[in-house]
Structure 1
Amino acid sequence: MENKKIATREAYGSALLEFGGDSKIVVLDADLSKSTKTDLFKNKYPERFINMGIAEGNMMATAAGISTCNKTVFASTFAMFASGRAFEQVRNSICYPALNVKIGATHAGITVGEDGASHQTIEDIALMRALPNMTVISPADAVETRAAVKAAIETKGPFYLRLGRLACPVIFDENDYKFELGKGIEIASGNDLTIISTGYMVHLSLEASKLLENEGIKARVINIHTIKPIDRDIIVKAAKETGAILTVEEHSIIGGLGSAVAEVVVENCPVAMKRIGVNDKFGKSGKPDALLEKYGLTKEAIVSGAKELLGSKKK
């Protein structure tokens, strides 16, 4: 039976509602509450919700100010606007003074679909992980999203939560899942190569590992939910034990997960490596599945990439 599918933006809204009884939590949105799912919080706690209108930079600056009043502020909008339009305010007003603002950035990546290149941010991880004091999280499913929101509430400082529009399979069991900031999770064992993935691409990486196993190739699969600070130990261990690293992300191959992993690998244990992501191009308008196919972000593409990597490993 196919896993239940829930978009991480849906889980984000549900988590804000669940934890919203904490009077220190304030939620801001840039006129997109139905899409970001912060309307769930708004409907129950209207006195702690502010619709800032289509003024993302002002929203971030306001969030920074409110946070200085001993508040935990969630500022939500599409990832394109959170990371792009409001970058200066995120940098100078939130990260520079290390304030307690959590950015709920929904509709990330190309699976936004028909909204096209103007709304498909594939540069946001690169932008956000470059900022001092910023924690960057890209949850793989609804269970992990809830845990990430909880961790963000419990941890002081700026957070960037990268969330998707498209429903994705629930990978983890909410009854025994343990989330730890800055710690990757090995979700499939293997010693022929390692597939390191994040966000929406994690379930596809798992599916690819099963296809590879049918061909006698055992791929280790690691879920990196916290891209910054990244889990150096699990990456170095994988490099030493498997000798080949394949990264997979719904983001540009420049500056995202692949770059973060490569930095760790080259400094600690250089091995054969390949990055799967968007190859320095803008997105296009189209159905999400068609776009994933067009940009090579499918389980079949992961299998092909793994085989290519194994070929270079043997040379």
Structure 2
Amino acid sequence: MSKIANKQMICEVLMEAAKTDKDIVALCSDSRGSGSFTPFAETYPDQFVETGIAEQNLVSISAGLAKCGKKSYAVSPACFLSTRSYEQAKVDVAYSNTNVKLIGISGGVSYGALGMSHHSAQDIAAMSAIPNMRVYIPSDHLQTKELTKALLKDEKPAYVRVGRNAVDPVYEEENVPFEMDKATVIREGSDVAIIACGEMVGPAKAAAEILKEQGISATVVDMYCIKPLDKAAIVKAASNAKAVLTVEEHAPFGGLGSMVSQVVGSECPRKVVNMSLPDAPVITGTSREVFDYYGLNAEGIAKKAAELVK
């Protein structure tokens, strides 16, 4: 099955839609190449804005265009989009309720070798804390395609974080279960519930296969919709399990693990353990090297899940 970077899929969906919808506008902060938006800029130059390395301007201009009836897609590295332009995201986009989709590319540790300055390990917590801001982290290009198509149909703000490189598909082209703001249950089990998002969904799915060989039945939930969080899916998965394991490419505070813990603690108390990046500068290396180092891979997830149900 083909591997396509999520950011490339976003561009492809928008280019197809822009054939007939001239209100679609893509904006980049010197990031058209890294964001895979060069084809959009070349095909629709009148629907493309380059702000240069000025993320705050990027977001404010996007909001201004949205107030004029445009559908703005602001594309910039997640590490900068979620920090340098945080006030603009809060005020110009969310508080003003403008039709701006913030596309955070190369999220998490995608820029692994460049160090902490280029890591975005706080964006789930930061963006989720803003009223009116929705937060999505799709797991593969197939889900990204469905999400992007769905976002084209509404006029509400959203932050979408995607990785830098193509990853193995979680789903199959002929079978991509997707419902807006509803988590996808990849498999159901009775011993442990593994709830993951983004690039951690693939390893979580593989971990379930390892656990099966050990006689452990695992539920795997793809929580691509961080906000609004699918609480019903969490309650169902937790209620049918002895323990819950969350897995995310994020700091240990304020992310998916924290959100799931709140829901489980209030609705169906179970032990919840969060696997995440550490509360420290992450080692440098490729995404795979970083994940392997911290046990954020199939083997590490399976090991932690097995420990939980013993």
Q: Which residue of 2 aligns with 1:6?
A: 4
- 1:6 counterpart SS class: coil
Does residue 1:62 correspond to 2:58, yes or no?
no
Which residue of 2 is the match for residue 82 of structure 1? Answer: 81
- SS at 2:61's partner residue? helix
Whether the aligned pair in 1 keeps the contact of 2:177 and 2:184 (CA below 8 Å) is no
- Tell me the amino acid that sits aligned with residue 13 of structure 1: C
Residue 169 of structure 2 corresponds to 170
Q: CA deviation at 1:160?
A: 0.5
2:17 to 1, 16, 19: 19
Partner of 2:217: 218
| Segment of structure 1 superposing worse, 11-20 or 83-92 | 11-20
Moved more, 20-29 or 203-212: 20-29
Deviation at 1:283, TM superposition (A): 2.2
> Partners in 1 of 2:44 and 2:105 — Cα distance?
21
Count how many residue pairs are aligned between Structure 1 and Structure 2: 309
Q: Distance in 1 between matches of 2:34 and 2:201?
A: 23
AA paired with 2:30? D
SS at match of 1:33: coil
Equivalence for 2:186? 187
> Which of 9-18 and 159-168 deviates more?
9-18
Structure 1 residue 238: Cα displacement? 1.1
Show structure 1 runs of 5+ residues with no match: none
For residue 211 of structure 1, report the CA deviation from its aligned partner. 0.5
Match of 2:284 in 1: 285
Question: In 2, are the aligned partners of 1:112 and 1:166 still within 8 Å (CA)?
Answer: no
The whole-number CA distance in structure 2 between the counterparts of 1:44 and 1:309 is 52
1:115: Cα distance to partner? 1.8
Paired residue type of 2:6: T
Q: Where does residue 157 of structure 1 map in the other structure?
A: 156
1:287 Cα deviation after fit: 2.2
Provide the secondary structure at the position in 2 that maps to 1:43: helix
Say whether the 8 Å CA contact 1:78–1:105 is kept in structure 2: yes
What corresponds to 1:115 in structure 2? 114
TM-score, length-scaled by structure 1? 0.95
Distance 1:102 1:234 in 2: 25
Aligned-partner residue type, residue 301 of structure 1: G
**Pairing of 1:86-101 with structure 2 (within 5 A):** 86-101=85-100
- Asked if the contact 2:235–2:264 (Cα under 8 Å) also holds between the matched residues in 1, the reply is yes
Task: Tell me, yes or no, if the aligned pair for 2:189 and 2:240 is still in contact at 8 Å.
Answer: no
Partner of 1:49: 48
CA distance in 1, matches of 2:162, 2:16: 18
Alignment correspondent of 1:270: 269
Question: 1:243-262: per-residue Cα shift (whole Å, max 9, x none)?
Answer: 31100111112111111111
Deviation at 1:166, TM superposition (A): 2.1
Provide Cα deviations, 1:130-158, integer angstroms capped at 9, x if missing partner: 11001111000001111111111111111
Which range is displaced more, 82-91 or 113-122? 113-122
The answer to whether the Cα contact below 8 Å between 2:25 and 2:73 also exists between their aligned partners in 1 is yes
State the match for 2:253 in structure 1. 254
Alpha-carbon contact 2:264-2:270 (below 8 Å) kept: yes
What is the CA–CA distance in structure 2 between the aligned matches of 1:266 and 1:309, rounded to whole Å? 17
Q: Residue by residue, what CA displacement relative to the aligned partner does 1:271-313 show, whole Å, maximum 9, x if unpaired? A: 01110011212223212221111222111110111012113xx
Whole-angstrom distance in 1 between the partners of 2:174 and 2:149: 15
Q: Write the letter of the residue equivalent to 1:82.
A: L
Share of identical aligned residues, percent?
37
Give the counterpart letter for 1:40 in structure 2.
P
Amino acid at match of 1:295: Y
Contact 1:111 1:291 in 2 (8 A): no
Deviations 1:102-125 (A, max 9, x none): 011000011322122110110001
Residue 5 (structure 1) shift: 2.4
**Aligned structure 1 segments of 4 or more residues deviating by more than 6 angstroms:** none
* Residue equivalent to 2:197: 198
More divergent stretch after superposition (54-63 vs 290-299): 290-299
2:32 and 2:110 map into 1 onto residues whose CA distance is 19
Measured in 1, the distance between the counterparts of 2:88 and 2:274 equals 31
2:309 corresponds to 1:303: no
